[in-house]
Amino acid sequence: MNAPTPSAPAPRVRHPTVDEVEFRALYKKTRYVVETADGWSLVITRYRPEPQSFPQPLLGEPMLLVHGFCQNRHAWTSGEFVKNLLYFGLDIHILELRGHGKSSVEFQQERARQTGRKLPADLEWDWDIDSYFLYDLPAAVAGVRRITRRERIFYCGHSMGGMLGYGYAGIHPQHFEGIITIGAAAELAKDNLPLKALALAGPVVSAGIDAALGSLNVLKAMTPFGKKGGEKLAYRYLPLDEWLKAASDALGFAEQSPMAGLVASRFNWLTRWDRMSMADVRWLLKEGGEKEPRKVVDQFFRWIRAQETVCYRTGYDFQRGFAKIKIPMAIIFGDMDPLASLAATRKVYRAAKSEYLLWRPVKGNSHIELTMGHDIRQICYDIKNLVEYARTHRDRVPSLPRSAE
């Protein structure tokens, strides 16, 4: 009797890589508005994943992205960060904090004209970090949960956005499936003497700016225009958007110079130019910068001087809350980042009680390129791994340490 002929192995299906997929084919983009308890209308941009012919292991999992200091949604979209997450199927929701991007002062004025509602009390650049923490973040988390009909969502914050996430996760862990922070310090200016010196000089610098503007107001009042009641000059915010646009123009000029490579190689404090596309850098500088209120800057300096991270309106201490974080967490930072270094992130790693806890430096990276540089793919795979772990352990009760059994 003849032996049966073995069947031929099924042909291996080759799926496209993320580079081979067109970005626009991965999503449908919409925007929605969430209202804060203190009267701001914040815009969230949603990249809803489109089902693809290739596997999408995280299809439909909602993730809220929150930008950092003086940034907007372009912090996430200047490179291919969002594209890589959409490739896995994540449902991306990008918040823009009050006064930033689509959540601008002008948008509040437009909404007030259309609806007759009152303008926010702090509209004239009178908010601080506490405002982001107490009002913006809760409104955004509630909005994503409502839109997606999920009790728990994933959170990813860059820089200040990550610091806000640490604080929120210590109070409301029941709202998060997991948290990822990118370039987010747990202790600001840890082992960073120049930043500490700047924070110590902050009040003196602010007083000097106030005095200079006061003198200009006196001179202005002596002119015919001033007598007619012109607006007084005041230090209410840092015009970082204008400074960054000027830097973008300067880089465009430098690209034409044979010295461009030398200049870029020497300017590595907050970014490593060799880790990013220069076109992406210029786009981020021109479109991704925002004004930041004086009170936000002053609160950062106060945190550095006191070596604390505190919501001053309620007294809540972010650092004391680290030990209450038990959800899956990934702390990702650049090994050359002066703002969120190994020393500056160590405290949250050591204090957190997460069963899944990643603490990883990205080699050769500083601060800005972590969301738009050439190493995005490995960072996004770290995110993928955390989400997959959380999905498979949703109903599992975390094991207690031996001392607590």
Instruction: Work out the pLDDT band at 169, boundaries 50, 70, 90.
Output: very high
When pLDDT is cut at 50, 70 and 90, the band that residue 358 belongs to is very high
Assigned fold of 18-193+313-404:
Rossmann fold (3.40.50)
3-state secondary structure of 193: helix
Rounded (5°) CA angle 353-354-359:
105
**Residues 97-135: tens digit of each pLDDT:** 999 999 999 999 999 999 999 999 999 999 999 999 999
Query: Model-level pTM greater than 0.85?
Result: yes
Dihedral angle sign, alpha carbons of residues 99, 100, 103, 105: positive
For the chain, the domains span 18-193+313-404, 196-287
* Cα separation, 234 vs 246, whole angstroms: 22
pLDDT value of residue 6: 67
What is the pLDDT at residue 402? 37
Return the number of other C-beta atoms located less than 10 Å from residue 50's C-beta: 14
Structure tokens at 223: 């002119």
Residue 219 has pLDDT above 50, yes or no: yes
